[in-house]
Chain A
């Protein structure tokens, strides 16, 4: 059984740029959730996708957007990057409303 994978591992961008982060869900899982974790804090929910539809969204601006593909993999896109977007971005997969399992994360640094 393959676990959750994310790419890239690390990324450095400058303010105003756009970034795309990718996630492959665990085999058999149809739901992907994205979280942002700033240093020293708990993860914060960005949004969730279930069967290619957005299924819930946290308190993040519209420049955070996402997609889920038919194979249940997912992308997180962030436009007009700001310094405060520097964080660990976590993808978690689950089977519908069951337990969520996290990937290794993508560390984004915005300069």
Chain B
């Protein structure tokens, strides 16, 4: 069973702090990794994609990938109450078919 695991949370951080979200995956052959944000009652919104080991920064978001350890993380700097949402980690395990396998999501709460 090819799996993607996330801590369900909730992860609570104060406004202005750094939120750190983690994800592990089981298939060493995975090549593409994505973070989606999902507000309650809405559909997932793509916020980051990462394909190579190391860090990728986009504004307040940094995605980190370590294929040897099979984990991918998302850092949110200067967290805002509007960042409160569920963050879904998705892995393209079957690269031939572009199927995304999702973790269960981590609920983030940013308190003013």
**A contacts, CB < 8 Å to B:** 31, 33, 35, 40-45, 48, 55-56, 58, 88, 90, 92, 94, 96-97, 99-105
Contacts and interface: CB of A to CB of B under 8 A. Distances in A.
B49 interface: yes
Contact of B99 (A33, A99, A105): A33
B103 A42 contact: yes
16 contacts: A33-B100, A41-B104, A42-B90, A43-B100, A43-B102, A45-B101, A48-B98, A56-B98, A56-B99, A58-B99, A90-B44, A97-B32, A97-B95, A99-B49, A100-B100, A102-B43
A60 to B, nearest CB: 12
Nearest to A59: B1
Contact of B98 (A33, A40, A44): A33
Interface string B35-60: 01000001111100100000000000
Counting from the closest, the 3 A-B pairs by CB-CB distance are A56-B97, A42-B102, A97-B98
A105 B103 CA distance: 19
Size band of the interface chain B makes with A: 20 to 34
B88 interface: yes
A56 B94 contact: yes
Contacts of B4: 42
Contacts of A92: 100
Given A99-B34, A99-B49, A43 B98 contact: no
Interface string B13-49: 0000000000000000000101010000011111001
A104 B42 contact: yes
A99 B50 CA distance: 10
Indicate the member of B44, B94, B103, B104 with the most A CB atoms within 10 Å. B44
A27 B76 CA distance: 30
A69 to B, nearest CB: 19
A99 B111 CA distance: 31
Nearest to B107: A40
